[in-house]
Amino acid sequence: MVSLAEPTTHGGEHPLLDLLSDFIVELRRAGLPVSLTENLDAMEAVTHIPIEDREAFKYALGATLVKNHAHWKAFEVVFEVYFSLRGPEYEVIREGDDAVRSDGEDGEVAPGDGQQPQGGGGGMQALTPEQLAEMLFKALMNGDAAMLAALARQAVTRFAGMEPGRPVGGTYYLYRTLRNLELDDLLEQLMEASREDAPEDLTPLEERLERDEFSDRIEQLKREIEAEIRRRLVADRGIDAMAKTLRKPLPEDVDFMHASREELANLRKAIYPLTRKLAARLARKRRHGRKGALDFRSTMRHSLSYGGVPAELKFRYPRPAKPEIMVVADISGSVAAFARFTLHLVYAISNQFSKVRSYVFIDGLDEVTRFFDGVEDIGEAVHRVNTEADVVWVDGHSDYGHAFGVFWERYNRDIGPKTTVLVLGDARNNYHASQSWILKEVQHKARKVYWLNPEPRAYWDTGDSIVGEYGNHCDGVFEVRNLRQLEAFVEKLV
Amino acid sequence: MSHRFEDVASVRTKLADARYLADEGIAGIVYLADRLGKPILVEGPAGTGKTELAKCVAEVTGARLIRLQCYEGLDESKALYEWNYKKQLLRIQTEEDSDWADIEDDLFSEEFLLTRPLLEAIRAEDPVVLLVDEVDRLEIETEALLLEILSEYQVSIPELGTVVATQVPLVFLTSNATRELSEALKRRCLYLYIDYPDLDRERQIVESKVEGINENLADQVARIVRSVRQLDLKKHPSVSETLDWARTLVLLGIDKVDAQTATDTVNILLKYRTDIDKAVKEFADNPDELVPEGA
């Protein structure tokens, strides 16, 4: 593995190779594991593919550099930044004639200082906003991809109000452009128009399909606009600055506690394949990890093929005992997302345990095992836990002490020597009594007690966090801030 | 070294002749694999045509397909080569009085070597395509078996020496991603992810693979399948399931899908009861209540 801070050679006689090595350095900075061999493969691959064929070029780089589909998105963003079409037409301030695009469409001139389009230049400049809206409507109606791309460029020119050198992110410009296009209403208008066009009334199914089709086209328009803004920003601020702004953590490294709504949605998508993988791996490990006792009968049978010499020893399949799991999770605001993902993961691999019981608390505590009984859709059950469980006792601020008290009072009989107890939470107790003696008692009765904390280790025991005090009575306290750490812990648990 | 394809476009047209509709990415990577002499690791959801790709490439290049189906517990003797113990024993027994040195030389000769798929692909004189199917089913230790073949195209047999390939075979490895493959393996391969096709490609696939389907029905099938894939399901319909569904509709003599037919036949598309319930609900519901995706 080459170190991340590998110096890049500038000023060589191969501008493409220089760009490529900068590109790879940026991929590494974004967290993608690109090895030296892969680097060399990419260099060789591009000699077979002409850079003009942008799609093929992208796939060639992707195939050699990205070996995990979850990283593809991150790769695409960096690729867009480094190999976007750059040229005079993307200069933000310069006025003048635009280069005609290779696909033969008219480009357009960026406006000067105001947001008002100025005359001259390509064909779309002269349009009134109404005409533009109508063209957009038609393009969406007919699914005209080339037209949509041209309109996206025009929309950015008119509405984004991009100013050179201004240090705002692309999201701001995107928001401005989209607001001006009023896309939400557009969907309804499109539906209306397609209802009118149809010879007879649309059945609900047809209506649904039409709607999906239009949403898809609108999404495509949004992507075009986003790409267009990104291209112009790259032209304005330079590659390095843009790459830095756009750098985002990979899905498995996203912090549970600070994930944005979009990141959470991505996490939810990521957790399905993850649990499937984990379940398959654990089942396999269980079967293959250890060998069972010698199977004498089978060994004798196989020895017959070697003239009675027991050359090949056969073993019984091991049947290790499955642990029993109790999950006790804090679901107050700050750590709710973390509890959700952990519950999801634990239930997804529940066939690895002889029994799973789960409890959630804020200041009161409720058993939620019933939500998961006989339910196929774990996501749905987790959702119900969050909305239906009775977890508020006084004021709805975390009170670990009281919650543990309730847990001990009601369920201490169920803790046995086979039970592993997982406590999930940041141990921010709002200065209530800790009642840590309960955890001590639990540790006596249970096989193991583990505490999973979604906070970075540096914040532990600061402010009202008392994870250290609870930790004294646990067999292990783990920092679990992202999917990667969660997966590693669960695997160890089984 | 001669190449199998002249350029990316020719990969596409050739595969299309074999009724495999490759998109830009697939064609580009197959072309690259040919040029760089590297294996392709194909990942993606089940039923998107990963194995089919290898078969079709073999078909269009006129190569023999050698297939190694991976499973847990697959080992050297099943994947690479094995000495034919029983035959060796017989050999010793038939010539008990002859010189041991002679027998010994004889015992580890080609005659007693059972070649398994990987060795067979290496030793083949004619053009071959090697398909290592579902490589993620191998245990991580067994994966190492493949490494020598994939990077050097050779197999070392202690008793015989190293067998080097006379020609570089095109190698496909497929994986359903039930586990992370080792870095060492990934590093040696080009990576190709085959996702569900987009609307146009799926429609074309349906049209080319289903006999006697009309354009309208194909379009409708592709669109319904896309909508179903947007739902939050346990298992999304794969391309092969789409094709099964389209074939069923053709057999039933349906040329326009309405909510009723969709509900009646959805069990071909989806295999879990909860998924079927969800889809049926979506088909029948008043769509005005639904919030469209991404709007």
Contact A204 B259 (CB under 8 A): yes
Reduced to 3 states (helix: H, G, I; strand: E, B; else coil), residue A9 is coil
Q: Quick count: other Cβ atoms within 10 Å of Cβ A157?
A: 27
pLDDT of the residue at A494? 65
Confidence band, pLDDT 50/70/90 cuts, at residue A290: low
Distance CA A393, CA A398 (A): 10
Confidence band, pLDDT 50/70/90 cuts, at residue A221: confident
Q: For A438-452, what is the mean pLDDT?
A: 87
The CA-based dihedral angle spanning residues A129, A135, A138, A139, taken in that order and rounded to the nearest 10 degrees: -120
pLDDT of B41 strictly over 90: yes
Q: Are A170 and A230 in contact (CB under 8 A)?
A: yes
Q: Number of CB pairs < 8 Å for A and B?
A: 134
Residues of B within 8 A of A209 (CB-CB) are 220, 223-224, 227
pLDDT of B228 strictly over 80: yes
pLDDT per residue over A389-406, tens digit each? 777 777 778 888 888 888
Do B188 and B218 share a domain, yes or no? no
pLDDT of the residue at B57? 92
What ipTM does this complex have? 0.81
Q: Establish if B295 belongs to a structural domain.
A: no
Do B241 and B275 share a domain, yes or no? yes
pLDDT of the residue at A106? 39
Tell which wins on pLDDT, B87 or A379.
Answer: B87
Strands B81-83 and B113-115: antiparallel
- The mean pLDDT value of chain A amounts to 75
pLDDT of the residue at A284? 64
List the structure tokens of A174: 């995107």
Do B212 and B185 share a domain, yes or no? no
Distance CA B30, CA A483 (A): 33
List the structure tokens of B217: 């029905």
pLDDT of B14 strictly over 60: yes
Do B53 and B129 share a domain, yes or no? yes
Distance of CA A128 to the CA centre of its chain: 41
Contact B262 A212 (CB under 8 A): no
Distance of CA B277 to the CA centre of its chain: 31
Q: How far is A447 from chain B (nearest CA, A)?
A: 30
Q: Are A227 and A175 in contact (CB under 8 A)?
A: no
Q: Which of A140-149, A250-259, B196-205 has the highest mean pLDDT?
A: B196-205
Q: Show which of B193, B219, B239 is a domain's final residue.
A: B193
Q: Are A174 and A229 in contact (CB under 8 A)?
A: yes
Contact B223 A213 (CB under 8 A): yes
Confidence band, pLDDT 50/70/90 cuts, at residue A415: confident
DSSP state of B54: H
- B87–A contact, CB cutoff 8 A: no
Tell which wins on pLDDT, A285 or A447.
Answer: A447
Distances (CA, A) of A27 to A10, A241, B107, B184, B191: 18, 14, 54, 19, 16
Q: What is the CATH number of the domain that holds B178?
A: 3.40.50.300
pLDDT of A103 strictly over 70: no
Q: Are B22 and B12 in contact (CB under 8 A)?
A: yes
Exposure string of B8-37, with b = 16+ CB inside 10 Å and e = fewer, is beebbebbbeeebbbbebbbbbbbbbbbbe
Distance CA A20, CA A485 (A): 32
pLDDT of the residue at A126? 66
Residue with tokens 């073999």: B58
What is the residue range of B34's domain?
8-80+116-193
pLDDT of the residue at A318? 65
Tell which wins on pLDDT, B236 or A120.
Answer: B236
Q: Are B170 and B34 in contact (CB under 8 A)?
A: yes
Residues of A within 8 A of B85 (CB-CB) are 305-306
pLDDT per residue over B122-180, tens digit each? 888 888 999 999 998 887 778 888 888 888 888 888 888 888 888 888 999 999 877 77
Strands A365-367 and A355-361: antiparallel
DSSP state of A110: P
Do B127 and B39 share a domain, yes or no? yes
List the structure tokens of B144: 């190492």
Q: Using CA coordinates, name the residue in chain B closest to A213.
A: B223
Q: For A126-133, what is the mean pLDDT?
A: 75
Contact A69 B193 (CB under 8 A): yes
Contact B187 A33 (CB under 8 A): no
Q: For A395-420, what is the mean pLDDT?
A: 85
Residue with tokens 């654990």: A282
Distances (CA, A) of B247 to A489, B54, B215, B251: 46, 24, 14, 6
**Which residue, among A49, A20, A17, has the nearest Cα to B35 in the 3D structure?**
A49
pLDDT of A104 strictly over 60: no
Do B164 and B209 share a domain, yes or no? no
Q: What percent of chain A has pLDDT over 70?
A: 79
Instruction: List the single range of A227-231, A262-266, A449-453 with lowest mean pLDDT.
Output: A262-266
DSSP state of A431: T
Q: Quick count: other Cβ atoms within 10 Å of Cβ A25?
A: 19
Confidence band, pLDDT 50/70/90 cuts, at residue B291: very low
Do B165 and B52 share a domain, yes or no? yes
Query: Which of A67, A222, A287 minimises the CB distance to B186?
Result: A67
Tell which wins on pLDDT, B234 or A437.
Answer: A437
Do B174 and B276 share a domain, yes or no? no
pLDDT of the residue at B179? 74
Taking each helix axis from N to C end, the angle separating A378-388 and A336-348, rounded to the nearest 10 degrees, works out to 140
Q: Quick count: other Cβ atoms within 10 Å of Cβ A419?
A: 20
pLDDT of the residue at A85? 59
- B262–A contact, CB cutoff 8 A: yes
- B43–A contact, CB cutoff 8 A: yes
Q: Using CA coordinates, name the residue in chain B closest to A178.
A: B295
Instruction: List the single range of A69-73, A116-120, B180-184 with lowest mean pLDDT.
Output: A116-120
List the structure tokens of A396: 């709805």
Q: Which of A384-388, A488-492, B97-101, B236-240 has the highest mean pLDDT?
A: B236-240
Confidence band, pLDDT 50/70/90 cuts, at residue A18: confident
pLDDT of the residue at A321? 64
pLDDT of A283 strictly over 70: no
DSSP code per residue over B76-144: HHHHTEEE-HHHHHHHHHHTTTS-HHHHHHHHTSGGGEEE-HHHHHHH-SS-EEEEEETGGGS-HHHHH
pLDDT of B84 strictly over 60: yes
**Which residue, among A438, A362, A444, has the nearest Cα to A404 in the 3D structure?**
A438
Query: Which of B38, B262, B292 minimises the CB distance to A212?
Result: B292
Tell which wins on pLDDT, A377 or A295.
Answer: A295
Is A261-289+322-493 a domain of CATH 3.40.50.410? Answer: yes
Q: For A272-282, what is the mean pLDDT?
A: 69
Distance CA B166, CA B163 (A): 9
Distance CA A56, CA B27 (A): 9
Tell which wins on pLDDT, A433 or A125.
Answer: A433
Confidence band, pLDDT 50/70/90 cuts, at residue A90: very low
Strands B40-43 and B170-175: parallel
pLDDT of A285 strictly over 70: no
Q: Are B258 and A178 in contact (CB under 8 A)?
A: no
Contact A376 B294 (CB under 8 A): no
**Which residue, among A488, A321, A353, has the nearest Cα to A421 in the 3D structure?**
A353
Query: Which of B36, B220, B257 minimises the CB distance to A45?
Result: B36
Confidence band, pLDDT 50/70/90 cuts, at residue A287: low
Q: Show which of B173, B193, B213 is a domain's final residue.
A: B193
Q: Show which of B193, B219, B254 is a domain's final residue.
A: B193
Q: How many CA atoms lie within 13 A of A445 on its CB side?
A: 15
Q: Establish if B292 belongs to a structural domain.
A: no
Contact B28 A305 (CB under 8 A): no
Taking each helix axis from N to C end, the angle separating A483-493 and A336-348, rounded to the nearest 10 degrees, works out to 40
**Length of chain A measured in residues:** 494
Do B143 and B231 share a domain, yes or no? no
Give the H/E segment covering residue A409: helix A400-411
Q: For A374-399, what is the mean pLDDT?
A: 75
Confidence band, pLDDT 50/70/90 cuts, at residue A286: low
Q: How many CA atoms lie within 13 A of A308 on its CB side?
A: 0
Do B185 and B220 share a domain, yes or no? no
- B155–A contact, CB cutoff 8 A: no
Distance CA B188, CA A64 (A): 9
pLDDT of the residue at A70? 80
Distance CA A186, CA A221 (A): 12
pLDDT of A49 strictly over 80: yes
Q: Establish if B265 belongs to a structural domain.
A: yes
Contact A209 B186 (CB under 8 A): no
Contact B283 A205 (CB under 8 A): yes
Q: For B246-263, what is the mean pLDDT?
A: 85
CA-based Rg of chain B, rounded to a whole angstrom? 24
Q: Establish if B223 belongs to a structural domain.
A: yes
Do B187 and B218 share a domain, yes or no? no
List the structure tokens of A196: 């009118």
Q: Establish if B92 belongs to a structural domain.
A: no
Confidence band, pLDDT 50/70/90 cuts, at residue B243: very high
Q: Establish if B100 belongs to a structural domain.
A: no
pLDDT of A277 strictly over 80: no
Q: Establish if B50 belongs to a structural domain.
A: yes
pLDDT of B115 strictly over 60: yes
- The mean pLDDT value of chain B amounts to 84
List the structure tokens of B221: 């099938």
pLDDT of the residue at B293? 36
Q: Using CA coordinates, name the residue in chain B closest to A379.
A: B232
Q: Is B37 left (phi over 0), alpha (psi -120 to 50) or beta?
A: left
**Which residue, among A232, A125, A120, A214, has the nearest Cα to A168 in the 3D structure?**
A232
Residues of B within 8 A of A208 (CB-CB) are 227, 282-283, 287, 290
Do B169 and B211 share a domain, yes or no? no
Contact B28 A204 (CB under 8 A): no
Distance CA A406, CA A230 (A): 54
Instruction: List the single range of A46-55, A254-263, A361-370, B23-32 with lowest mean pLDDT.
Output: A254-263
Q: Establish if B91 belongs to a structural domain.
A: no
pLDDT of B47 strictly over 70: yes
Q: How far is A204 from chain B (nearest CA, A)?
A: 6
Domain count, chain B: 2
Q: Quick count: other Cβ atoms within 10 Å of Cβ A194?
A: 17
